Structure formats: structure tokens, C-alpha cells
Amino acid sequence: MMKAVLTIVVMFSTVTLIYKWRYKVMNTLLAVGIIRKIMVSVSMNLPYVRNHILPELFNTKSHTY
């Protein structure tokens, strides 16, 4: 029982720290070339990214807000 509680506490603490430092963790991981290439290829296989986000990024029309 104590081992299960300790495992849950450690997992919760790890998730909390990763969430707190999520941008530092992401920048550190994406600084490695092979991981960056894998992440780009995975994200390009997601239909939402391909169909909605990419056209917005490379839209040549001027936006007036």
C-alpha cells in the first residue's frame, strides 16, 4: 500500500514539474535534430495541422484586424 502511494506521489510530482517547465523541456528536446525531424513528420501526419494550421501560417493575404 505504501509503495503504491509513493508511486502515485512521484508520478504526480513528475507530471507537475514537466508541466511547470514544459517550454524548457520542449525547447531542449527540439534542439536535437533527429527528434525535431520526427516531431515535424508526426505533426504533418495530423490532418488538423495540415488542413488548418499550415494554410494560416503561409497565407499571403494581408490580415486586417
pLDDT in the model for residue 7: 96
CA dist., res. 30 & res. 35, Å (int):
6
Whether 45 shows a pLDDT value over 80: the answer reads yes
pLDDT in the model for residue 60: 58
Its pTM surpasses 0.85: no
**Phi-psi region at 3: left, alpha or beta (left = phi > 0; alpha = psi -120 to 50):** alpha
pLDDT in the model for residue 43: 84
CA dist., res. 5 & res. 27, Å (int):
32
pLDDT tens digits, residue range 3-42?
999 999 999 999 999 999 999 988 998 999 999 999 889 8
